[in-house]
Copies of this chain bind each other. A is one copy, B any other.
Amino acid sequence: MMTPPVRPSQPRQPQEPVRQENLRTLNLELVFRHILSAGRPISRTELAALTGLTRPTITRIAEELLAGQLITEGAVTHSGRAGRPRVGLTLSEKGPAGLGLDIRADGLAACVVDLTGTVRHLAFAPSAGRDAPDVLSNLAAMAGAAIDAVAADDLAVVTATLAVPGPVSAGVVRSASALGWRNVDAGALLRTATRHLDLPIAVENEANLAALGELYASDNSLDSFVYVSGGLGIGAGIVLGGQLMRGARGWSGELGHVTVYPDGKPCPCGSRGCLQTYASLAAILGDAPTGTLPAIPGADATTGTASETGATTGTAAFGAGGVTGVAATPEAVITGRAEAGGAETLAALDTAGTALGIALSGMLNILDIDTVLLGGSFSLLASWLTMNARAELDQRVLTAAWAPVTIRPALLGPDAAVIGAALTSIDQIRQHPTGWLTRQTAVSL
């Protein structure tokens, strides 16, 4: 066969030359990254040593960051010796904040985080049905309430991210069978419903956002993992080398539609034997084909802000069953039946665990990732699913022979997506503080 001529690779975007004007931006962002990663107040002297920049440059940059409410002065951890405690620079708990909104199996959620990544507001409301305009106008009301609540703490919400259970392109939900949505322009609907708030809005897959939430929550100790979001549907968020792998069009991680049994049960998507038909909440509850949940009585609204919990550290701490606690979730029904020894439910959980293990094995063979976090509803059902799933992983992941696979519940539980959404919003400021500073300057003129 002909060997065609091989041509050189073309770097798509030759970088910009480094000149004086962007040197200022680069160095400001460099200093901010060091303050961000320090995780404690850090002195100007230390910053000079870490960055190699001169002390006057550090002082000038610190003034800019202080004026923009991105950092504050704080006491450097006491050295133990006598003398006055030194002061240092640390991230501000006032100033810019990020909003997250989530549409999930059991209702709607809103979350605000500050620049330090601390949750400052978390609210939940039971589902208002599946009609898109209704759902999004309810979310808009929750967004308004969240913005008002944190304004009392001198926080300004600058951007919002909406989590949706399906693939998204440019704000349009292409398919969310859990909600019966197809080509719903959730971004436009939410922008219309929040136009009085003048808020930039991004829309992203909930499993991707939940994976980012877990990445933050782990303090980046987890470098690469698959986050499985169980619920009405099943999605996955993929983190590789500390980065979310969104795929070519942002539609990666459609684990629920990976074939487990080629000649298996029909799925609403048009295929057969999809994981979703064996391991969704509906499938475990015994109502697989339609993908809809039986009505669960007793769902109950609870909301709260972090300041109400009286946490002294400025970090939200919610008690068990607190903000996200709802009387009778599908997960509670399943665990109730399983604990009572219900044979059908136990068999359904076994089937789900095995199917999950088979689909995940393929995923890990493809991705080369060795850690699986069971999130969303699966974080609550993990003890019933893990054993069968692990048996399949051990047998079917090629590299498991010399590099064992870890499978465990996710840290943040069902709140991972809304927290991840809020963190994604604030991350825009964390990554590009100069954008915020420029806007502040323009406003103050």
> Residues of A with Cβ closer than 8 Å to B?
1-12, 14-19, 23, 26-27, 30, 33-34, 36-37, 39, 50-53, 91, 113, 115-119, 122, 167, 174-175, 213, 215-217, 219-220, 223-224, 236, 238, 240-242, 245-255, 257-262, 269-272, 313, 315-321, 323-324, 358-359, 361-363, 365-370, 379-380, 395-399, 401-403, 411-413, 415, 419, 423, 427, 430
Contact = CB atoms under 8 A, between A and B. Distances in A.
B6 A419 contact: yes
A224 B248 contact: yes
Given A2-B318, A236-B366, A258-B365, A30 B14 contact: yes
B7 A36 contact: no
A328 to B, nearest CB: 16
Contact of A318 (B3, B51, B367, B368): B3
Contacts of A272: 395
A4 B215 CA distance: 13
Q: Is the interface of A mostly helix, strand, loop or mixed?
A: loop
B18 A37 contact: no
A1 B368 contact: no
B249 A240 contact: no
Contact of A3 (B6, B34, B119, B358): B119
Contacts of A320: 1-2
Contacts of A399: 167, 174, 249, 251, 254
Contact of A1 (B248, B261, B316, B324): B324
A358 B257 CA distance: 12
Given A3-B316, A3-B415, A396-B259, A366 B36 contact: no
A423 B361 CA distance: 32
Contacts of A51: 14, 17
A1 B30 CA distance: 37
Contacts of A113: 6
Contacts of A52: 16-17, 19
Contact of A14 (B37, B260, B427): B37
Contacts of A1: 320-321, 324, 379-380, 413
Contact of A365 (B9, B257, B412, B413): B257
B219 A259 contact: no
B261 A262 contact: yes
B27 A18 contact: yes
Contact of A248 (B115, B119, B219, B241): B241
Contacts of A15: 30, 33
Contacts of A365: 254-255, 257-258
A17 B220 contact: no
B249 A403 contact: yes
A224 B419 CA distance: 30
Contact of A411 (B4, B23, B224, B380): B4
A275 to B, nearest CB: 9
Contact of A7 (B8, B30, B219, B359): B219
Contacts of A317: 2-3, 5
Given A224-B248, A248-B369, 6 more contacts: A6-B216, A8-B117, A14-B33, A249-B370, A254-B365, A254-B366
A-B pairs, 6 with minimum CB distance: A247-B368, A5-B315, A8-B117, A224-B248, A252-B368, A251-B368
A369 B366 CA distance: 13
A290 to B, nearest CB: 18
A31 B17 CA distance: 9
13 contacts: A2-B320, A4-B217, A4-B411, A6-B412, A7-B117, A7-B219, A8-B430, A11-B37, A12-B220, A14-B37, A249-B399, A253-B366, A262-B358
Nearest to A220: B10
Nearest to A399: B251
Contact of A252 (B8, B10, B175, B367): B367
Given A2-B318, A2-B319, A245 B240 contact: yes
Given A246-B368, A252-B366, A255-B366, A8 B39 contact: yes
Contacts of A315: 5-6
